[in-house]
Amino acid sequence: MAKLPKDSHRVEDVAYAEYLFEKFYVIGSISTGGVTRLGYSDAETEMHKMFKSIGEKEGFRYEEDEVGNSFICNSDSDSYYLIGSHLDSVVDGGRYDGVAGIIAGLIVLKWVKDNKLDIPIKVGAFRCEESSNFGKCTVGSGLVTNALNKHDVAETVSKDGRTMEEIFKENGYSLYPERISGVKQYLELHIEQGKILEEYGERLGIATTIAGPKRFLLHLIGEAEHSGATPMDMRHDALCGAAELISEIESIGRDEAIWKSVATVGTVELKPNALNVIPGSVTLGVDIRGINQDSLNRMENRIKDSGKKIAKKRGLKFYRDKISEMSPVVLSRNMQETLSHIAKDMKISHRIMISGAGHDAMSFAEICDTALIFIPCDKGISHNKNEFATIESICDGAILIYEYLHEVSK
């Protein structure tokens, strides 16, 4: 083991992490207090430029790949460890989602340099991890691992109305990139975006599986009628049907919680959405996630059946669109065990857990051994200006990655 503090962090490490955090801080800041750094927007590009400038200042080599992902490298070896995350954010998001993992990678790179270790590492910042701009997540990592292809993304349209294809053309990027090569193992640190670590009082999480999200739009169509002039027994109120369906989806999620599945209605679109009109149509956006494929399928079927049953009973029309579907991703068991063993040695309390949220690690799990490490975030809040994680937590994760790389590259 390298001589690094285990229970508390060195002042200079905390200072370096803070320095890195400050470098990114102002980019994409908005008046509400949060940041908006949408994937493939100018704000995200500015983040990548800052990343480049930080790396070059430390004397590292910079690379950009065919889709705009950025890499800071301590060697030009054909075979390297990749520590990755992202620099984009949701609309009005927080400053830790993605950035925490990049900071951790840069700290590890510096420690490896300072300790003159010969471990080939690239820190990779992947473009457009959030679905907020194009409705597609993990675009940069997906394209270079070939988990995504041109057809998945070319026609998607950004919030300002441009297709991915147009943006790629403008920037000289390719929708048919060569598959990334030479990655020995992929490691990612990310804020948990949940409150499990906080509730259990643990310093780090090591993920076993990343839940596979399935997303649907559920449409209920009734009749938009005058709220005053239509007696209760003559109504076909789409919202009352939707309310029943939302309750049912919650109950399905609770039934499947034993399998660590979750079911969420996150969006509601109502027409005409006027105080004096009975809702004529409602569209619910549903996100179900889990690590057990049977549980996911069961939830999907039960939601479909509930929608049909409720619609029939109420004289509504019901149909659904599947937006996306990903299978659960199992991460490297070996890496988890080694990471857990090192964390134990270092007396850093940690928890073996699932990842409910999706991450760039999903893209890499298909092509190499992959590990995902969580740090707690305050009250589990994420995708929000109130998102907060401590610099010490980032250092906890960085030390674990550093010690891990030190161990496996011996």
Interface residues toward its own copies, by CB under 8 A: 90, 131, 192-196, 199, 211, 213, 215, 223-234, 237, 239-240, 242-244, 246-247, 250, 253-254, 257, 260, 262-268, 270, 272-279, 285, 287, 289, 323, 355-358, 379-384
CB closer to its own copies out of 268 and 367: 268
Q: Which amino acid is at 363?
A: S
Cα–Cα distance, 3 to 5 (Å, whole number): 7
The residue among 68 and 280 lying less far from its own copies, judged by its C-beta, is: 280
Measured from the CB atom, is 59 or 231 closer to its own copies? Answer: 231
The β-bridge partners of 352 are 206
Residue 234: C-alpha distances to residues 129, 158, 161 (Å): 47, 42, 42
Residues 6+ positions from 393 with CB-CB distance below 8 Å? 100, 203, 204, 375, 376
Minimal distance in Å, beta carbon 332 to its own copies?
Answer: 20
Cis peptide leading into 5, omega within 30 of 0? no
Strand partners, 277: 226
The distance of closest approach from Cβ of residue 201 to its own copies in the complex, given in angstroms and rounded to an integer, is 15
Q: How far is the CB of 150 from its own copies (least distance, A)?
A: 24
- Residue 387 CB, shortest distance to its own copies, in Å, is 10
Which residue bears the tokens 């009975």? Answer: 278
Q: Are 391 and 191 in contact (CB under 8 A)?
A: no
Report, in Å, the least distance between residue 117 CB and its own copies.
34
Task: Supply the minimum distance, in Å, between the C-beta of residue 123 and its own copies.
Answer: 24
Q: Nearer Cβ to its own copies, position 336 or 380?
A: 380
Q: Please report how close the Cβ of residue 283 comes to its own copies at its closest, in angstroms.
A: 11
Q: Which tokens is 151 given? A: 């057809």
Q: How many CB atoms lie within 10 A of CB 68?
A: 26
d(CA 8, CA 376): 16
Q: Which of 211, 359, 141, 98 is nearest to 153 (CA)?
A: 141
The token pair that represents 227 in the structure block: 């709220």
What would you report as the CA-atom Rg of the chain, rounded to the nearest whole angstrom?
A: 23
- Residue closer to its own copies by CB (options 119, 265) is 265
Please report how close the Cβ of residue 336 comes to its own copies at its closest, in angstroms. 18
Beta carbons within 10 angstroms of residue 214's beta carbon: 22
How far apart are the C-alpha atoms of 232 and 333, rounded to whole Å? Answer: 58
Alpha helices in 60-163 (DSSP H): 99-114, 139-144, 150-153
- Residue 106 CB, shortest distance to its own copies, in Å, is 25
Nearer to its own copies, 196 or 367 (CB): 196
Residue closest to 192 by CA, chosen among 380, 361, 21, 362: 380
Measured from the CB atom, the residue of 93 and 105 that comes closer to its own copies is 93
| CB nearer its own copies, residue 123 or residue 288 | 288
User: How near is the Cβ of 97 to its own copies at its closest, in Å?
Assistant: 10
Q: Nearer to its own copies by C-beta: 217 or 368?
A: 217
Q: Could you tell me the smallest distance in angstroms from the CB atom of residue 313 to its own copies?
A: 13
What is the C-alpha to C-alpha distance for residues 264 and 253, in angstroms, rounded to an integer?
8
**CA 198 to chain CA mean position, Å:** 19
250 vs 325 by CB, closer to its own copies? 250
How far, in Å, CA of 108 to CA of 128, rounded? 23
CA separation for the pair 324, 310 (Å, rounded): 24
